[in-house]
């Protein structure tokens, strides 16, 4: 494992049975509190944005905001928030989905994305892939293209990568860490 991957992995805390029994929660707050690790993560994700030819960064509420916003600044791209339903004031597109521990709906401002945009989706964790799949659907419904999906870590045993294959349609799924 590279030095950067070891650094990132060492700053992720496992919390058993959160938010419900049977879930091993991957807590990134120690990583966020370490400027060297947070900077290394931001740089690695911004490099993926450049490599995939992204023109915009979409971050998924809430942890995808924390990671995606500095990536957008570093990459010199606009940041578009995909929020849990009911939080955006303008006209939105809305998509329902299931995740590892429950179900929810997400929204994006319809005017924030259009044809010609190539969007890199940024999040902390890929688990079942439900959240990312819904985000991809929103981006497509807005007429934009997905340049890729970049996550800090992929929980491989939950099968998110296979689930996302059809929706990504050849766009790369980059996970800095495989768990
Ligand atoms: O692949 P999935 O099974 O969909 O799970 C992954 C999603 O779950 C977490 O978000 P959560 O909805 O817990 O929101 P939060 O960032 O506000 O805590 C995580 O940040 C991902 O967005
Ligand atoms: N096990 C997990 N840890 C942190 N975030 C998650 N999102 C979905 N599953 C998760």
Ligand 1 lined by 62 (C-beta under 6 Å): yes
Query: 75 near 49, Cβ under 8 Å?
Result: yes
63 is catalytic: yes
Residue 146 CA to residue 131 CA, distance in Å, equals 15
Please work out whether the CB of residue 124 comes within 6 Å of at least one atom of ligand 1.
yes
Q: State in Å: Cα 171 to ligand 2 middle.
A: 23
Cα–Cα distance for residue pair 138/145, rounded to 1 Å: 10
Angle 81-46-70 (CA atoms, 0-180°, nearest 5)?
50
pLDDT at residue 75, rounded to an integer: 98
pLDDT tens, N- to C-terminus, the chain (179 residues): 899 999 999 999 999 999 999 999 999 999 999 999 999 999 999 999 999 999 999 999 999 999 999 999 999 999 999 999 999 999 999 999 998 888 999 999 999 999 999 999 999 999 999 999 999 999 999 999 999 999 999 999 999 999 999 999 999 999 999 99
Q: Check: CB of residue 120 under 8 Å from CB of residue 147.
A: yes
With beta carbons less than 8 A apart as the criterion, state whether 123 and 164 touch: no
Residues 63, 107, 118, 154: which is the catalytic one?
63
Instruction: Tell me the ligand closest to 60's alpha carbon.
Output: 1
Contact 36, 3 (CB under 8 A): no
- What pLDDT, on a 0 to 100 scale, did the predictor assign at position 110? 96
- CA–centroid distance, residue 174 to ligand 2 (Å): 17
Q: Is the CB of 95 under 6 A from ligand 1?
A: no
CB-ligand 1 contact for 59 (6 Å cutoff) = no
Output the CA–CA distances (angstroms, integers) from residue 15 to 18, 21, 72, in the order listed. Answer: 6, 11, 29
How far is the C-alpha of 84 from the C-alpha of 125, rounded, in Å? 16
**Cα–ligand 1 centroid distance for 123 (angstroms):** 8
In eight-state DSSP terms, residue 127 is S
pLDDT of residue 72: 99
| pLDDT score for 49 | 98
pLDDT digits (tens, 9 = 90+) for 97-126: 998 888 999 999 999 999 999 999 999 999
Residue range 157-179, pLDDT digits in tens: 999 999 999 999 999 999 999 99
pLDDT at 99: 85
Domains belonging to the chain, first-starting first, are 3-178 (3.40.50.2020)
Residue 105 among the catalytic residues: no
Q: Is the CB of 24 under 6 A from ligand 2?
A: yes
Cβ-in-10-Å burial (0-12, 13-18, 19+) of 15 comes to exposed
Q: Which of 85, 156, 144 is nearest to 117 (CA)?
A: 144
């Amino acid at each position: 494992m590279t030095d950067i991957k070891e650094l990132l992995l060492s700053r992720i805390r496992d919390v058993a049975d959160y938010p419900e029994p049977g879930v091993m929660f991957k807590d990134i707050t120690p990583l966020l509190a370490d400027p060297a690790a947070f900077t290394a993560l931001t740089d690695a994700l911004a490099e993926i944005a450049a490599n995939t030819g992204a023109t915009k960064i979409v971050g998924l509420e809430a942890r995808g905001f924390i990671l995606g916003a500095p990536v957008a600044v570093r990459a010199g791209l606009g940041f578009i928030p995909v929020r849990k339903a009911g939080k955006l004031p303008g006209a939105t597109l809305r998509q329902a989905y299931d995740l590892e521990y429950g179900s929810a709906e997400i929204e994006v401002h319809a005017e924030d994305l259009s044809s010609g945009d190539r969007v890199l989706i940024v999040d902390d964790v890929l688990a079942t892939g439900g959240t990312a799949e819904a985000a991809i659907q929103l981006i497509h419904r807005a007429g934009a293209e997905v340049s890729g999906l970049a996550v800090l870590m992929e929980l491989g045993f939950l099968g998110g990568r296979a689930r996302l294959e059809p929706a990504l349609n050849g766009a790369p799924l980059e996970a800095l860490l495989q768990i």
